[in-house]
Amino acid sequence: MIETPQPARAAARAFPRTPAAAGNLWSRLLVAAAGLPLVIGLVWLGHWYLFALVLVAGMIALHELYRMTRPLRPIAIAGHAGLVGVLVALQVSTTTWALGALLASLGLAFLLKGLSGTSGSATVSVATTLLGPAWIGFGLGFLLLLRAMHGHGRLAALTLLLAVFADDTFAYLGGRTLGRHKLAPALSPGKTLEGFVAGTAACVFVTFVALYHDRHTYLSIGQSVLLGVVIAAAAPAGDLFESLLKRDMGVKDTGQILGGHGGMLDRLDAILFASVAAFYTILAYT
C-alpha cells in the first residue's frame, strides 16, 4: 500500500476535492464577499441603519431557532414581540426597559400558552420561547450598545465584527489544514484545538491592529490585547452553545439562507456572546 504523504493529506483537507465540499467552500466565500461590506457599511453609519440590520437578522435567527425547537412548542408570537421590544428598548433607552420587554414577553408567553390549550409541558414551552429574545435579542442589542458608546463606538463595533470574522475564518482554515485534536467532540466534532489556537491568534492580532492607532486616546496596547483574548474566548463559546442546542434537537444547520454558512443563527452565534463580553470589557476600562 502506498501511503499518501502528510503534506498531501493536509492539502486535501484544506482544499476539498469533492464537488459538494468545494461548492460549500465557494458558497462561504461568496456570501462573505457580498455580506461583509454591507454589514461594515451599516455599522459605520450606525443609528437606525444598524438597528434595521440587527432587527432583520434577529427576526430571521429567531424564526430559525423556533423552527429548530418546534417539538418543544415555543410560542413564536410572544418571542418575536419580546425580541422587537428588547431591541427597541436598547436602541432608544436603557437595559432597564429591555429587561422590562423581556419580562413582558414572559407574561405573554404564559398567557398564550394557557389560552391555546395545546399539549406539552408549559414550562418547557415558555422557557424555549424566552430563550429567543434573551439570547438573540440581548446578544444583538449589545452590539447596538457597543456602537452607541461615547467617543469610539464605531471603532469598538467594527473591531468586534472584524475580530469575530477573523476568529471564525482562521479557526476554520486552521482546523482544515492542521486539525488533529478535537476541541469539544461531544458538542461539535468538527472543531479542533489547532483551529481554536489559529482563530485566537487571528482574533487578538486583528483587535490589536484595529485599535493600535488610538492606543493613546482610547485603549492601551495591553487593554487591546486583553480585549482580543476576551473576544477569542467568547466567540467560540457562543458557537459551542449553538452547537449544543443543534445536537440536542438533532439538526446540522439552523437553515440555508446563507449558503455554505448555514442559517442566520449559524452566522450570528459567535457574535451573540462576543458582543456582551466586549461591551463589558470596554466598560470596565472606561
pTM metric for this prediction: 0.86
Does 94 or 106 have the greater pLDDT score?
106
> Which pLDDT score, from 0 to 100, does residue 261 have?
65
Looking at residue 27, its pLDDT comes to 63
* Chain length of the chain: 286
Domain boundary assignment for the chain = 26-285
Whole-number pLDDT of residue 23: 53
pLDDT band at 19 (very low <50, low <70, confident <90, very high): low
Compute the average pLDDT of residues 243-249.
Answer: 92
Mean pLDDT of 79-106: 94
When pLDDT is cut at 50, 70 and 90, the band that residue 30 belongs to is: confident
Of 91, 22, 80, nearest in space to 51 by CA: 91
User: Which one has a higher pLDDT value, 3 or 224?
Assistant: 224
Range with lowest mean pLDDT among 2-16, 79-93, 145-159: 2-16
Q: What is the mean pLDDT of the chain?
A: 87
**Separation CA 14–CA 8 (nearest Å):** 10
Q: pLDDT band at 219, cuts 50/70/90?
A: very high
Q: What is the mean pLDDT of residues 263-286?
A: 94
Tell me the per-residue pLDDT of 254-267, one tens digit each, with 9 for 90 and over: 877 776 567 899 98
Q: Are 266 and 253 in contact (CB under 8 A)?
A: yes
Instruction: Check residue 116 and give its pLDDT.
Output: 79
Please give the residue that has the higher pLDDT: either 286 or 143.
143
| Cell 444547520 -> residue | 253
16: pLDDT strictly greater than 70:
no
- What whole-number percentage of the chain has pLDDT above 90? 67
Q: Give tens-digit pLDDT for 153-180.
A: 999 999 999 999 999 989 988 888 887 8
The 10s digit of each residue's pLDDT in 97-114 is: 999 999 999 999 999 998
Question: Pseudo-torsion of CA 38, 210, 163, 131, nearest 10°?
Answer: -70
**What is the 3-state secondary structure of 71-138?**
HHCCCHHHHHHHHHHHHHHHHHCCHHHHHHHHHHHHHHHHHHHHHHCCCCCHHHHHHHHHHHHHHHHH
